[in-house]
Amino acid sequence: MNIVTGFSRTAEDAPDLLAVSVEGLEYSYGTLRDTVCASAGWILARCGTPRHVAVLASRSYGVYAGILAAGWAGAAYVPLSPKLPEIRLKSILSRLRPEAIIVDNNGLSRVSSLRQGEDTFPPVLLISGKNAAEVSEEGSAVIDTEPALKPAERSASDIAYIMFTSGTTGEPKGVMVPCGAVERFMSVMQERYRLTPADRLSQTFETTFDLSVFDMFMTWRSGASLHVLPATQLMAPRRFIVQNNLTVWFSVPSTAALMDRMNMLPAGIFPSLRLSLFCGEALGESTALAWRRAAPKSVVENLYGPTEATIACTLQPVDDPPYSTPGRGVIAIGQPYPGTDAAIFGPNLQPLEDGQSGELVLGGAQLAAGYFGDSERTAAAFPVIHGKCWYRTGDLAYRDSQGVFHHLGRIDNQVKVLGNRVELEEVDAHLRRAAGTDLAASVAWPLEDNGAASGIVAFVAGSDRPADDIRNAMRAAVPAYMVPSRICVLDRLPLNASGKTDRKALVAMLKEGV
Amino acid sequence: MNDRTQVRDLFDGLLSRKGDTRGFEDSESLILSGRLESRDTVEIVMFLESHYGVDFSTTDFDQTQFDTVDELLNFIAANRS
């Protein structure tokens, strides 16, 4: 049950079809397979039986070939952004200890500084264009290892990928997703959407975001083509959709909301789209309806799901009028996929009645295997209740009398910034270090109409460091979307009744225009 | 106020809101360099709509066209109504 099996089959049956269009170049399934077989052969020759292969690359041919090669060789792939600060990359690599690292040219520029100070460092393979070369401290050499002609056998419980997401303690959490969960997700999606070689899919998500798994692997198992958006077109991708005749669009709702706000969704602008999916944050009603009008032939669906339940696990079709969450102006998150169980639990993990709000919990075939190297946190997040394993999402929700789920926000301080999952406690932890004070707190701001955030604002008190210095120190420690866009220096931070920093009061200050 | 001054004022306002007061040349990259974020693009779009009547329901762009003062001035020259 290897996640690359579908790709392998397509490459065998139809090697001339277009597999991926990226950086202005087109690569067929046959070409991509040749790179993958050569790279996987190198992994096996250099690492024996690899468990984890890190892929330090982004929006390049190398990232797609690298992910497929890791899977082909029987390893879990671990996507890492070349834009991550060094300290974070080093922390993940030292915990993970991957047997190999695959890079593109952007990833390569990070390797020499990552190597510095390390006694041992995994072998590095550079995939640049169609060429693959091993890169050592002495230089690079084109690989001449035997290609691996067939993908490795994998079982349902083997790990397909590990995604590192924000963690409350300041250290990112590695969500381990098994091959069986991915296979289950993909078969449910294929049953519903029936992708064919005629389909042309968008690729908006960074590969460090698990929604990219849908784009890549749904494309390749159905013989369709993947069209990678350049970073500069992500904000306003209208031209990209039209010029590439995309048939399937998948993005965070923010992308559509921004286009709507910029009057870039006139009726009928996307005649080629037959399927439009949104996931990662709340989908506003008005955005969803604007998209429906812009893509009149497209089915529009709102997906929901944490990385811990594999990509997405509930969905709500967007009709007109839409099935929305009363009083919130957002589309409901819908009903669970076949094979996924969803329920609402109270504070003592007891099931609640329909209409009562509580924590959304998920069970079934798409659950992740837990957090890498963190059995304590795994046990807390994946409790076994009456013999059944559940994942506690931390999302506040209720189920209505029709069996449809509605999302009401978070129980904790996790927020979504333009679709990226951020634990505010993690931002605070780094902020305290950067500002040299314990009096530091962050909030998601500004908030969009659908409750999603487009940035983070930080508040510090008792720090003698200039805001610019604090921001620069944050930039060196956390991904860009976690760096506060503003840092407000106060005399003191407001406290709530229990003596903790009152984030609601901070948001109220921003609403008043502080 | 001429176009160049207006565009410089816009970028100046966006940067200083982030505490960035380093100053910038007209040819200096502001978005791709990371000094401004892609979400600031929305404010640039609104500025272009309100000051120059650019109609984004019929006009395409990508962020590379808004990256410097000079590029934004070229965009305005080509798309003002």
Q: Which domains does chain B show, CATH number per domain? A: 3-79 (1.10.1200.10)
Question: Degrees (nearest 5) of the Cα angle A365, A367, A369?
Answer: 120
Closest-CA distance, A444 to chain B, in angstroms, reads: 14
User: Which residue in chain A is spatially nearest to B55 when comparing CA positions?
Assistant: A263
Q: Say whether A205 sits in a helix, a strand or coil.
A: coil
Residues of B in contact with A448 (CB under 8 A): none
Of A514 and A429, more confident: A429
Which chain B residues are closer than 8 Å to A230 by Cβ? Answer: 62
CA A323 from chain centre, in angstroms, equals 26
Q: Do A468 and B20 touch (CB under 8 A)?
A: yes
- For residues A166 and A483, is the Cβ–Cβ distance under 8 A? no
User: In this complex, which of A263, A455, A467 lies closest to B39 when CB atoms are compared?
Assistant: A455
Domains A5-154 and A183-410 equal at CATH topology level: yes
Q: How many CA atoms lie within 13 A of A118 on its CB side?
A: 16
Question: CA–CA separation, A66 vs A80, rounded Å?
Answer: 12
Taking a C-beta distance cutoff of 8 angstroms, is the pair B28, B68 a contact?
yes
Number of H helices, E strands in chain A: 15, 30
Q: What number is the average pLDDT over the span A30-59? A: 97
Q: Specify the DSSP element, H or E, that contains A483.
A: none
> Does residue A151 have a cis bond before it (omega within 30 degrees)?
no
Q: Which token pair is B41?
A: 């693009």
Which residues sit opposite A175 in a β-bridge? A163, A371
C-alpha distance from A154 to closest chain B C-alpha (Å): 40
Q: Do A266 and B64 touch (CB under 8 A)?
A: no
Q: How far is B29 from chain A (nearest CA, A)?
A: 13
DSSP per residue over A333-368, as a string? -BEEPTTEEEEEE-TTS-B--TT--EEEEEEETT--
Q: State the pTM of this model.
A: 0.90
Residues on chain A touching B58 (C-beta within 8 angstroms): 266
Closest CB to B41: pick one of A235, A455, A466.
A235
Measured distance between the N- and C-terminal CA atoms of chain B, rounded to whole angstroms: 18
**Residue A229's closest chain B neighbor by CA?**
B62
pLDDT tens-digit series, residues A71-84: 999 999 999 999 89
> Which CATH number fits the domain A183-410, given the four candidates 1.10.10.10, 3.40.50.12780, 3.40.50.10490, 2.40.50.100?
3.40.50.12780
Burial of A504 from C-beta contacts in 10 A (0-12 / 13-18 / 19+): exposed
Q: How far is B18 from chain A (nearest CA, A)?
A: 5
* Vertex A30: Cα angle to A24 and A31 (nearest 5): 45
Q: Which two tokens stand for residue B45?
A: 């779009």
What's the length of chain B?
Answer: 81
Helix, strand, coil proportions of chain A in percent (round to 5)?
30, 30, 40
Residue A232 — pLDDT band, cuts 50, 70, 90?
confident
pLDDT in tens, A179-193: 999 999 999 999 999
For A137-279, strand residue ranges (E) read 139-142, 159-165, 173-178, 200-203, 225-228, 248-251, 275-278
Enumerate the domain spans of chain A: 5-154, 183-410, 414-511
pLDDT value at residue B56: 85
Whether A235 contacts chain B with CB within 8 A: yes
Which chain B residues have any C-beta within 8 angstroms of a chain A C-beta?
17-20, 32, 34, 37-39, 41-42, 45-46, 49, 55-58, 60-64
For residues A410 and A401, is the Cβ–Cβ distance under 8 A?
Answer: no
Residues A321/A345, Cβ–Cβ less than 8 Å? no
A5-154: CATH architecture: 3-Layer(aba) Sandwich (3.40)
State the best of B14, B61, B64, B81 to mutate against chain A, taking most chain A CBs within 10 Å: B61
Mutation pick from A84, A235, A270 vs chain B, by most beta carbons of B within 10 Å, is A235
Residues whose CB falls within 8 Å of the CB of residue A386, separated by 6 or more in sequence, listed in order: none
Q: Which amino acid is at A403?
A: G
Instruction: Look at A96-110, A358-372, A379-393, A429-443 and tell me which has the smallest mean pLDDT.
Output: A429-443
Contact A232 B62 (CB under 8 A): yes
Q: How far is residue A179's CA from residue A310's CA, in Å, rounded to a whole number?
A: 10
User: A338-375 as b/e, with b when 16 or more CB fall inside 10 Å?
Assistant: eebebbbbeeeeeebeeeeebbbbbbbbbbbbbbbebe
Strand partners, A76: A52
| Confidence check: pLDDT of A498 > 70 | no
Q: How far apart are the first and last CA of chain A?
A: 55
3-state secondary structure at position A324 = strand
Q: What is the pLDDT of residue A378?
A: 97
What amino acid occupies position A379? A
Share the mean pLDDT of chain B: 87
Per-residue pLDDT, averaged over A159-187, amounts to 93
Facing B56 at nearest CB: one of A264, A418, A454: A264
Average pLDDT value for chain A: 93
**A71-75, A110-114, A268-272, B1-5: least confident range:** B1-5
Domain A414-511 -> CATH class:
alpha beta
What the block records as the tokens of B53 is 């009547």
pLDDT band at A205 (very low <50, low <70, confident <90, very high): very high
Q: Is the pLDDT of residue A413 over 90?
A: no
The whole-angstrom distance between B4's CA and the closest CA on chain A is 23
Residue A400 has a CB neighbour count (10 Å cut-off) of: 14
Which one-letter amino acid corresponds to residue A118? E
Determine the residue type at A490.
L
Q: Is there a contact between A485 and B18 if contact means CB atoms under 8 Å apart? A: yes
Q: Helices (DSSP H) in A308-444: which residue ranges? A: 375-381, 424-435
